[in-house]
Amino acid sequence: MAKKLQVVSNTWAIRFSFQSLVALLVAVLVIGAIYLTGESEQLLEEEDDHEVTKQESGKNESSSSRCEFFSGKWVFDNNSYPLYKEQDCTFMSDQLACHKFGRKDLSYQNWRWQPHHCDLPRFNATALLERLRNKRLVFVGDSLNRGQWVSMVCLVETSIPNKELKSMHTNGSLITFRAVEYNATVEFYWAPLLVDSNSDDPVNHRLPDRIVRAQAIEKHAKYWTDANILVFNSYLWWRRPKMKVLWGSFESPDGIYKEIEMLRSYEMAIKTWSDWLEFHVNHNKTQLFFVSMSPTHERGEEWGRSVDQNCYNETDPILKEGYWGSGSDPDMMHIVEDAIDGLKMRGLNVQMINITQLSEYRKEGHPSIYRKQWEPLTEEQQSNPSSYADCIHWCLPGVPDVWNELLYAYIFGYDRLKTTVEL
């Protein structure tokens, strides 16, 4: 695979100099947006910049309390966080660089996730790179997953000061970060609905009429089936009441199109995905993860603001334990849970990285208005900043770094240690 990656025609392979970084940022700005409106859908302005874009054991409180990585609380900790500096990450995305784009309150960078009854292991970039030696870690999914990938790249690449020893290149839907000394890659593959769809172009996917081939995945899967660690997600692109499903191919004139209730179509796609994993992934070699829904913060009234407010102007997390807003759909999460349970019965382990609840608390963690605007703002927008605030993606350094700390804990099997090791 390394050979293959080297011979494929890169749109760019970079030995970083400042000029090449600037050139790259300019060259690869791409605008894409999808709009989701209505009760079950949020305004999602999804701008695709393909610019290239972060102890030790379980502590028990009582003999019966078991560590749950996903339930806990946020603790302000400006000694240990952020795990890297925004300006130090060579591959930071302008969509996520909130400080660079004018955000003044920076405490969103300083929160540590404290699970109940245990601590997360400390993220050690060198240990992860060692683990990934001669291996591929591939994220597959939408722009939220891409944000987590950027976070992961920042977390590991800041430990490699020598610019000669790291590179980034894109090839179609696949973007590859390479740690040269380790022959390790951390990759992102664009597949916002996991299965085939008319939104698969990594650049031009801004289509009003979304069509999904709920039973076809191999077009994507062939690029990542042999990876050593796979991290999937797919959620926001499904948030509309119905989906148009196609039986047959996009090219063939006799394809059958049918509008189907969204949950049903999601279930079909998740089944296609899980069947693929069951029959095509080498169970011995591959670690599998699914990152649960990333919540949005569009409705201020849900956390005690007025109806017209969203994440704009928010500077603090929600402290009420168990807070859950309408931006997360439990039914969709259950579909994934059921598929994962089914795979487990058939001998394949997929670990859910359950980020939904912990991210629900972080209404202040989104870029809001502090990100690159790909189109000039209208006067009307300027007079009402909430109207163009991004309450979907996440600032970096920030919340996705914690998702990666959780992923890290599972990659190293800390979840298995947690009941046996005591502090």
Quick check: helix, strand or coil at residue 13?
A: coil
CB closer to ligand NAG out of 261 and 422: 422
| 265 has catalytic annotation | no
Backbone angles phi, psi at 343, to 5 degrees: -65, -40
Residue 3 beta carbon to ligand NAG: minimum distance, rounded to whole angstroms: 8
Residue 208 beta carbon to ligand NAG: minimum distance, rounded to whole angstroms: 25
CB closer to ligand NAG out of 305 and 372: 305
Residue 328 beta carbon to ligand NAG: minimum distance, rounded to whole angstroms: 10
Residue 407 beta carbon to ligand NAG: minimum distance, rounded to whole angstroms: 15
CA dist., res. 235 & res. 323, Å (int): 20
| 390 has catalytic annotation | yes
| CB neighbours of residue 29 within 10 Å | 15
Residue 71 beta carbon to ligand NAG: minimum distance, rounded to whole angstroms: 3
Q: Which amino acid is at 402?
A: V
CA dist., res. 266 & res. 263, Å (int): 5
CA dist., res. 416 & res. 121, Å (int): 13
CB closer to ligand NAG out of 57 and 171: 171
Residue 85: closest CA among 408, 403, 311, 401: 401
DSSP state letter for 79? T
Do 133 and 182 contact (CB within 8 A), yes or no?
yes
Q: Which amino acid is at 23?
A: A
Residue 253 beta carbon to ligand NAG: minimum distance, rounded to whole angstroms: 25
CA dist., res. 67 & res. 74, Å (int): 16
CB closer to ligand NAG out of 223 and 374: 223
CB closer to ligand NAG out of 208 and 347: 347
CB closer to ligand NAG out of 1 and 377: 1
Pairing of strands 242-247, 256-261: antiparallel
Instruction: Report helix angle 399-411 to 143-157, nearest 10.
Output: 70
CB closer to ligand NAG out of 215 and 386: 386
Given 94, 151, 393, 401, the catalytic residue: 393
Residue 389 beta carbon to ligand NAG: minimum distance, rounded to whole angstroms: 10
Residue 385 beta carbon to ligand NAG: minimum distance, rounded to whole angstroms: 7
CB closer to ligand NAG out of 91 and 123: 123
CB closer to ligand NAG out of 37 and 126: 126
Q: Which amino acid is at 13?
A: A
Tokens standing for 1? 């695979």
Given 93, 143, 151, 197, the catalytic residue: 143
DSSP E strand stretches across 180-268: 184-190, 196-197, 211-213, 229-232, 242-247, 256-261
| 143 has catalytic annotation | yes
CA dist., res. 198 & res. 216, Å (int): 12
Residue 300: closest CA among 390, 357, 360, 363: 363
Residue 366 beta carbon to ligand NAG: minimum distance, rounded to whole angstroms: 15
Given 142, 200, 329, 390, the catalytic residue: 390
Tokens standing for 123? 């993220």
Q: Which residues contact 50 (CB under 8 A, 6 or more apart)?
A: 28, 29, 30, 170, 175, 202, 203
CA dist., res. 140 & res. 189, Å (int): 5
| Residues of the shown chain interacting with ligand NAG in the complex, contacts defined by CB under 6 A | 1-2, 8-9, 60-63, 68, 70-71, 78, 124, 126-127, 130, 134-136, 171-174, 183, 185, 223, 282, 284, 309, 313, 333, 337, 352, 354, 356-357, 422
**In the complex, residue closest to ligand NAG by CB:** 172
Backbone angles phi, psi at 162, to 5 degrees: -75, 110
Do 386 and 312 contact (CB within 8 A), yes or no?
yes
Do 122 and 54 contact (CB within 8 A), yes or no?
no
Active site residues: 143, 390, 393
